[in-house]
Amino acid sequence: MIELEGLTKRYGEKVAVNDLTFAVRPGIVTGFLGPNGAGKSTTMRMMLGLDNPTAGDVRIDGRHYAQIKHPLKYIGALLDAKAMHGGRSAYNHLLCLAQSNGIPDSRVREVLDTVGLTAVAKKKAKGFSLGMGQRLGIAGALLGDPQILMFDEPVNGLDPEGIHWIRNLMKGLAAQGRTVFVSSHLMSEMALTADHLVVIGQGRLLADMSMADFIRQNSRSYVRLRSPQQERLRDVLHAEGITAVEAGNGTLEVDGTPVERLGELAARHSLVLHELSPQQASLEEAFMQLTAESVEYHAHSDTRAPDTSGWQQSNQQWSQKREQ
Ligand SMILES: Nc1ncnc2c1ncn2[C@@H]1O[C@H](COP(=O)(O)OP(=O)(O)OP(=O)(O)O)[C@@H](O)[C@H]1O
């Protein structure tokens, strides 16, 4: 278990981490999300004793990192895959880590095998690709067979097979009862991997809840209906006290009524339906909605990536229509 209590970090005027209190529990994968500059890496560095908090406290199984004798046996971390001696071979890099942490040499071959680097074990790390470097960093995290694992952007540089592998690795580690804490900007990947989310913005805690609750609370779920008998359908719904909002392209949207009830109502009145589909926003949409106000770095160009403001706008319009 990792516990943070009022954790704060200032760099001069800048408050990078602002009074964070949360716990990371064993047996599940906890995702750590936040826009660029939100304070994720700073938080993780303080968890590992690499930075001192300005205020507050972080404890690993009740102890400060510095109090743990052989830390790699308790907590394994991938922070910066480039942070290694490039002149050493992958094998020697891990051997040095093992020997300074009281870990048997035999463990080096095991973790090299786990991450798929056995064939290049004798090659110098500085010649490694980004993905190979990530794998070596992950091998270092696994070396001490720790109960707590922390990964900062672990899929960075990995190919689809590698992404699939790390996803299953993290889920497997959590299923063994370990504590797994992972940050990533890849929302689709996070949605497939994490059970629980901690979300921060401008150093502050924005959410600490299950993935399902996070999406439910930060997005709109509704049912979309399409029928060639739209007018009759609207009348039937209206008579039942159900508000259906026209959403263009011949579709109606209904909020707050289970999809089963809508289907049964249509059947009872012999209405033809071409579509009856529950709609749930993605993690990415829920994340954008929650963090919209705490994004520090906005792109300002005509070629910027598509954002979800359209989605937010239609959400607002929809809410306004519902209120009318
Ligand atoms: N050593 C430092 N000195 C001064 N400011 C710092 C330092 N380290 C981080 N910061 C600032 O603290 C804030 C949080 O940075 P941090 O790297 O923790 O964010 P992050 O959530 O990991 O961002 P990203 O997703 O972009 O990696 C940023 O505004 C950053 O500029």
Report the nearest-CA residue for atom 28 of ligand 1. Answer: 37
**pLDDT computed for residue 297 by the predictor:** 60
Helix (H) or strand (E) holding 259: helix 259-268
State the pLDDT at residue 308: 41
CATH class assigned to 220-279? alpha beta
Do the first three CATH levels of 2-217 and 220-279 match, i.e. the same topology?
A: no
Residue 319: predicted pLDDT: 43
Nearest CA to ligand 1 atom 8: 42
The fold of 2-217 is Rossmann fold (3.40.50)
User: What residue has token string 């690795």?
Assistant: 169
Ligand 1 is surrounded, with C-beta below 6 A, by 11, 14, 16, 34, 36-42
Looking at residue 300, what is its pLDDT? Answer: 57
In angstroms, rounded to a whole number, what is the distance separating the alpha carbons of residues 99 and 101? 5
Candidate from 42, 183, 206 with most ligand 1 atoms within 8 A of CB, to mutate: 42
Residue 150 forms beta bridges with which residues? 77, 181
Q: Would you write out the chain's pLDDT as a tens digit for each of its 324 residues?
A: 899 999 999 999 999 999 999 999 999 999 999 999 999 999 999 999 999 999 999 999 999 888 888 888 899 999 876 666 667 899 999 999 999 889 999 999 999 999 999 999 998 878 888 888 889 999 999 999 999 999 999 988 788 888 999 999 999 999 999 999 999 888 888 999 999 999 999 999 999 999 988 888 887 789 999 999 999 999 999 999 999 999 888 899 999 899 999 999 999 999 999 999 998 878 888 888 888 876 766 655 544 444 444 334 434 443 444 444
Q: What is the ipTM of this complex?
A: 0.96
Model-level pTM?
Answer: 0.80
- Show the tokens assigned to 212: 């399902």
Ligand 1, pocket-test mutation among 9, 15, 40, most atoms within 8 A of CB: 40
Per DSSP, what are the bridge partners of residue 223?
254, 278
CA dist., res. 255 & res. 318, Å (int): 10
Nearest atom (ligand 1) to Cα of 200 = 21
* Residue 168 neighbours by CB distance under 10 Å: 11
Residue whose structure tokens are 């690993």:
60
Please report, for the chain, how many H helices and E strands are present, in that order.
Answer: 11, 13
3 beta partners: 23, 59
Question: Half-sphere exposure (CA, 13 Å, Cβ side) for 128?
Answer: 31
Where are the domains positioned within the chain?
2-217, 220-279
Task: Please report the pLDDT score of residue 82 as a whole number.
Answer: 62
| Tokens at 276, concatenated | 């009856």
